[in-house]
Structures are given as C-alpha cells and as structure tokens.
C-alpha cells in the first residue's frame, strides 16, 4: 500500500472540516484513511495530533453554533482554574458547552451541550470561545461543595475580576436557582489567594473557631520587604505556609521556601508549614497546631 498523501499545509496540526479538505484537493478516500480520526461527522483530526483538551474543543467548535462557548469543567480547565478536589480528569469526561437562547443545544458525541439561561459572556482563550471566568463561577458554584466553590471564587478574584464584578454577577442571579449559595460563597471569597489549598486552609481554620487570617499580606521590616506568607496574623507575627508537592520536588522552589522561612523567623515570626496531608487527612490536629502557635504568641479569641 502506498504511503498516505501528506496533508495540505493549511490543514496540518489542527482539526478541520471535510468540506475544507475537499476544497483543498483531498479525496473522500483520503479522508477515510487511518492517518485521520473523525471525532464528529464532517470533522477530521490528524491522527498524529495529541488528543488534548484544546484539540477536542477545536474539533467540536467546527460543528457547534457560532455563538456557542466552552463552559463548565471544560472551561475551568482551559482557564487554568482549580477543579474540585477529587474531581475526575477533565480529559476523561465530555466537553461542556453552552449555546444562548433561542438556539437549541446540539447533540454531539462526547459533548454535553446545554442552552444557557443567561446571555453568555465570552472571551477567547487559546483561540477558543470560553465563558468568562466570572460567568463560569456563577454557573458552577451553586452545585459545588462550599470549599470548592470558594476556591474557584478566590482564583477568579485573583486573576480575572475585581470584587465589584463578582458582587454584580451574584446580584444578577437574584431569584435564580442557587442564588443563596452564591451569596454565601461570595461572602467567603478573599484576595489575594494563590491556590485552592490556601483556600482550604483558611476555611478549615476559621471553621475550627480560629480568628480569620489575612491572605497574602506583605511582611515589611524597617522599610524592607521580607516575605508574603500565604496566611498570617500580623498582630502576633504568626504565619501559615502551604507547601505543595512541587515545593519538595523543585530544588529552586525548595531553597526559596527555606530561605523565606529563615527570613521570617529572623524577624521574630513563627511559621507553621502545612502540607496537603495536614489539610485533607488531619484537619482537627492541624487546626489545634495553629491555635497553639497563636496562643503562645498571646492571641486570645
């Protein structure tokens, strides 16, 4: 069997439609060859192209209505926002998209399409139309566990929206399903927060009755910047730092962490370092450890 004819340059490295390929001189026999895969009717993807989330979205985009937008967990992944703890790999599930009324949601394999109750607020992310992070948060938060909804809100607030934008978005959902949960989540969103684990630490500590820490507050001594702890109680100079696994496996990050802790302690701070195990497997003991550090420094509540 002769080797397959190379794809036209215009079609390489991306999904394309059968019509586009025919117009560029490919035959239908070529379009049925093993060097291409067909995720949707009338769509082809070079077999050598990795089956990434972006490629799957780009392929579906070719047969979705023009006004459709990526939504749900798929949109969260494309924006790099935190997925719920323990959630399945997004690549293993269907793509999530919404279409605005009055368009009907199409039926496509491996795609969960829904009609949006609200006019989609879209941005372009890596060439794909994706719901704005604030819109995503408002859609998802009512159905997420509280901690996950707050972590998503913290992440959206960190990079994509001012507090006023979140407040206005929640106000726009008044009278809709989930509005009460959205208000509750909004009241717990803080800024700046760098990770979902920082959110979880803050929420667990306050649920245990500890005074709420401040997030991302700079420590400045004699006019010189020292560090920015994840969580802190500046009045008694106690800080909590969450170290993810990359803090252990990345030598540069590890050295930076050690140096920051040394600098804080030299300035009279007590630093409590927490890991994922501390938060996920022993939250009561972790809260007691932090409470002890606060009491040793004279904080009463």
**pLDDT at residue 255 in the model:** 86
- Do 5 and 69 share a domain, yes or no? no
pLDDT interval class at 254 (50, 70, 90): confident
Domain contains 6:
yes
Domain contains 250:
yes
Q: Convert the pLDDT of each residue in 256-287 to its tens digit.
A: 889 999 999 999 999 999 999 999 999 999 99
The Cα 23–Cα 107 span in angstroms is: 27
**pLDDT at residue 256 in the model:** 85
Q: Convert the pLDDT of each residue in 159-198 to its tens digit.
A: 999 999 999 999 999 999 999 999 999 999 999 999 999 9
Domain contains 17:
yes
Q: Residues 201-204: contacts with CB within 8 Å, 24+ apart?
A: 201/230, 201/231, 201/240, 201/242, 201/274, 201/279, 202/231, 203/146, 203/147, 203/150, 204/279, 204/283, 204/286, 204/287
Is it the case that residue 78 has pLDDT exceeding 60? yes
Domain contains 269:
yes
CA distances (Å), origin 94, targets 86, 88, 145: 17, 11, 21
- Do 12 and 84 share a domain, yes or no? no
- Do 209 and 148 share a domain, yes or no? no
**pLDDT at residue 2 in the model:** 58
Number of domains in the chain: 3
pLDDT (average), residues 42-58: 97
Q: 3-state secondary structure string, 176-188? A: CCCHHHHHHHHCC
- Do 223 and 268 share a domain, yes or no? yes
Higher per-residue pLDDT: 171 or 104: 171
pLDDT (average), residues 211-219: 98
Is it the case that residue 39 has pLDDT exceeding 90? yes
- Do 165 and 281 share a domain, yes or no? no
Which of 152, 186, 220 is a domain's end point? 186
Given strand 43-46, what is the order of strands in its sheet?
A: 16-17, 43-46, 36-37
Query: What's this model's pTM, rounded to 2 decimal places?
Result: 0.92
Domain contains 301:
no
Average pLDDT value over all residues in the chain: 94
Domain contains 107:
yes
Which of 145, 162, 186 is a domain's end point? 186
The Cα 238–Cα 27 span in angstroms is: 70
The DSSP secondary structure of the chain, one letter per residue, reads -PPPPPPPGGGTTS-EEHHHHHHTT--HHHHTSTTEE-SSTTEEEETTS---HHHHHHHHHTTS-TT-EE-HHHHHHHHTPPPPTTPPPGGGS-EEEEE-TTSPPP-BTTEEEEE-SS---EEEETTEEEE-HHHHHHHHGGGS-HHHHHHHHHHHHHHT--HHHHHHHHHHTTTSTTHHHHHHHHTT--SS---HHHHHHHHHHHHTTPPPPEESPPEEETTEEEE--SEEETTTTEEEEE--HHHHH-HHHHHHHHHHHHHHHHTT-EEEEE-HHHHHT-HHHHHHHHHHHHHHTT---
Domain contains 54:
no
pLDDT (average), residues 2-19: 89
pLDDT interval class at 118 (50, 70, 90): low
The Cα 196–Cα 126 span in angstroms is: 24
pLDDT interval class at 106 (50, 70, 90): confident
Give the domain extent around 169: 60-186
pLDDT (average), residues 63-85: 95
- Do 218 and 180 share a domain, yes or no? no
CA distances (Å), origin 4, targets 15, 20, 33, 48: 18, 18, 8, 13
- Half-sphere CA count of 6, side-chain side, radius 13 A: 5
Is it the case that residue 3 has pLDDT exceeding 70? no
198 close to 288: Cβ distance less than 8 angstroms: no
Task: Please give the backbone phi and psi of residue 274, each rounded to the nearest 5 degrees, phi first.
Answer: -115, 150
CATH code of the domain in which 212 resides = 3.40.960
Structure tokens belonging to residue 217: 């507050």
The Cα 294–Cα 301 span in angstroms is: 10
């Amino acid at each position: 069997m002769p080797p397959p004819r190379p794809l036209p340059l215009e079609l390489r490295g991306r999904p394309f439609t059968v019509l586009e390929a025919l117009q560029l001189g490919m035959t239908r026999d070529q379009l049925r060859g093993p060097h291409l895969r067909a995720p949707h009717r009338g769509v082809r993807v070079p077999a050598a192209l990795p089956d990434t989330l972006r490629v799957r979205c780009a392929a579906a985009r070719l047969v979705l209505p023009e006004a459709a937008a990526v939504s749900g967990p798929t949109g969260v992944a494309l924006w790099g926002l935190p997925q719920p703890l323990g959630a399945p790999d997004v690549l293993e599930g269907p793509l999530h998209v919404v279409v605005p009324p009055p368009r009907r949601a199409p039926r496509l394999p491996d795609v969960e399409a829904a009609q949006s109750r609200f006019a989609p607020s879209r941005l372009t992310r890596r060439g794909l139309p994706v719901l704005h992070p604030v819109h995503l948060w408002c859609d998802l938060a009512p159905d997420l566990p509280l901690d996950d909804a707050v972590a998503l809100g913290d992440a959206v607030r960190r990079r994509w929206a001012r507090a006023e934008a979140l407040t206005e978005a929640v106000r726009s959902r008044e009278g809709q399903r989930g509005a009460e949960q959205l208000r509750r989540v909004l009241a717990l969103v803080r800024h700046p927060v760098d990770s979902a684990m920082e959110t979880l630490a803050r929420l667990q500590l306050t649920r245990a009755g500890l005074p709420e820490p401040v997030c991302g507050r700079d420590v400045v001594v004699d006019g010189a910047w020292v560090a920015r702890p994840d969580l802190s109680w500046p009045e008694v100079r106690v800080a909590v730092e969450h170290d993810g696994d990359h803090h252990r496996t990345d030598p540069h990050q590890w050295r930076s962490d050690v140096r920051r802790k040394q600098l804080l302690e030299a300035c009279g701070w007590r630093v409590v370092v927490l890991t994922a195990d501390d938060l996920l497997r022993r939250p009561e003991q972790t809260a007691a450890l932090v409470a002890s550090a606060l009491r040793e420094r004279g904080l009463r509540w």
